[in-house]
Amino acid sequence: MAIKKGHIVEIEIEQAAYEGKGFGKLEDRAVFVKNTAPGDTVKARIIKKRKSYFLGDLLEVLKEGENRIEPVCKHASICGGCTWQHVTYEEQLRFKRIHVRDHIQRIGGLKDVDPLPTIGGEYQLHYRNKMEYTFGDRRWFTREEIDSGVQLNSKDVALGMHIPGRFDRILNLEECYLQIPVSFKIMDFVRTYALEHNISAFNQVKKEGFFRNVMIRNSHYTKDLMVNLITFADHPEGMKHIADALLEAFPEITTIVNNVNDTQSPTSEGRIERIIYGPGYIIEKIGGYEFKIDANTFFQTNTLQAEKLYQTAREFARLKPDDVVFDLYCGVGSLSLFVSDAVKKVVGIEISPVSVKNARENAQINNVDNCLFETGDMRDVFTDTFIQKYGKPDVIITDPPRAGMHPDVVKTLCELAVDRLVYVSCNSATMARDLTQLSEVYEIGRVQPVDMFPQTYHIETVAELTRKV
């Protein structure tokens, strides 16, 4: 009998697939099941049937694979924050290398490129320096809660993580192990404060309510601690009361910020930003350099692994004292400054004005005078005029967003044909796409995965490119 949607089947999980799902086969088709590990034999319900694959919902693990472990967090199987807590860390690193290799060879068509073993992290828990928790007035109930028979009220203040694929439902977290322990305690305090003072949670559909998000940033080296409260309305007096309560409960907080986002956009960046307490930023260090990080600027979320990532990029660039380096998508200038002592000049380009402001301030803080920064969209700024202004670079380092580089930017890189090009990527699939075109001009050398996000399927990758002779 042909397998249909709703059928319950038994599956042997052969390997890990992208996005953290386990992979097996049914009727010569691929079948993907979340929360499974290679070696598992599982019972699953088919929830989607397509021409080339099935999607299954895990019902029971009949036989555990040798790499399955018990997750630390009770929410691990539901929450979108972690996808691989049930798999040993050694296997996570191996899977990530396989995924990078698969993307480069299958998507990029670069059959001879084999990534190096993944560089792992010292800490697999409590490693993030930033967490953003989301408020909602409709919480998500787990299967255990529904089956308990206890009457449940979904319309309440919930604070936690989005259920994957559901922008309108929030998993009300009771624990979290991604950031330092005080992060969850602060989150829980704000949730309790909202409940006790009858402060409403934002409803994404109706566009009403007060609290939208709680963002917490911490510094590994300086121990600075920021709480950023994102609200739908501007209420300075009320925010002052909340800040006072937070500081009394958590005296280690060094700054409190309120971003007022009264728009339909789900972003945590507010139309209005108020500094309620402290300087409004934190200071972090990477490789001996200090970096000023405002509430809404991008910074690598794993400080210790960022040092390994940057060191790898620096090594692949094979820098020389007379080199001119372009740093594309430079953010707050962290990588620009990290390589600045080895070269003549670094020129960074970044679309975010706040990040460029921070980058210039970071250069001043560190007494670095050979780094310059330009603001603008990469495809508009990275042109012949820009190159004439600063001169042809010897080295280019590019660290684009998940979508990869715009085709115009890739075309410019091919036309420039610099001696050395280093591609830093948070999405090896889009990197592979770009490497295909770049390989017409550049030799692809070493490819190094760096695990910035333990317990998840995400992976950073650094690729070494040199101009073909």
What would the two tokens of residue 265 be? 């956009």
The DSSP string of 222-283 is T--EEEEEEESS--HHHHHHHHHHHHHH-TT--EEEEEE--SS---S--SEEEEEESSSEEE
32 forms beta bridges with: 23, 55
- Is the torsion defined by CA of 458, 460, 464, 465 positive or negative? positive
Across-strand partners of 255? 226
Query: In what helix (H) or strand (E) does residue 456 lie, and over which residues does it extend?
Result: none
- Record the tokens describing residue 165, joined without a space: 């694929």
Helices and strands (DSSP H and E) totals, the chain: 11, 22
Residue 363's H or E segment, with its range, is helix 353-365
The DSSP element (H or E) to which 464 belongs, if any, is strand 460-467
Q: Amino acid identity, residue 463?
A: A
φ/ψ region of 337 (left if φ > 0, alpha if ψ in -120 to 50, else beta) reads alpha
Q: Which of 73, 82, 330, 426 is catalytic?
A: 426
Bridge-based pairing of strands 442-450 and 289-294 is: unpaired
Question: How many Cα atoms within 13 Å fall on the side-chain side of residue 1?
Answer: 6
Beta strand pairing call for 255-260 and 272-277:
antiparallel
330 as an active site residue: the answer is: no
What is the Cα–Cα distance from 393 to 455, expressed in whole angstroms?
Answer: 38
- Which helix (H) or strand (E) is 161 found in, with range? strand 155-163
Q: Which residue has the tokens 């939208």?
A: 212
Closest to 227 measured CA to CA, from 193, 204, 195: 193
Q: Is 281 helix (H, G, I), strand (E, B) or coil?
A: strand
If you ran DSSP here, which 8-state letter would residue 74 be given? T
Per-position b or e across 13-52, b if 16+ CB within 10 A of its CB: bbebbeebbbbbebeeebbbbbbbbbbbbbebebeebeee
Active site residues: 426
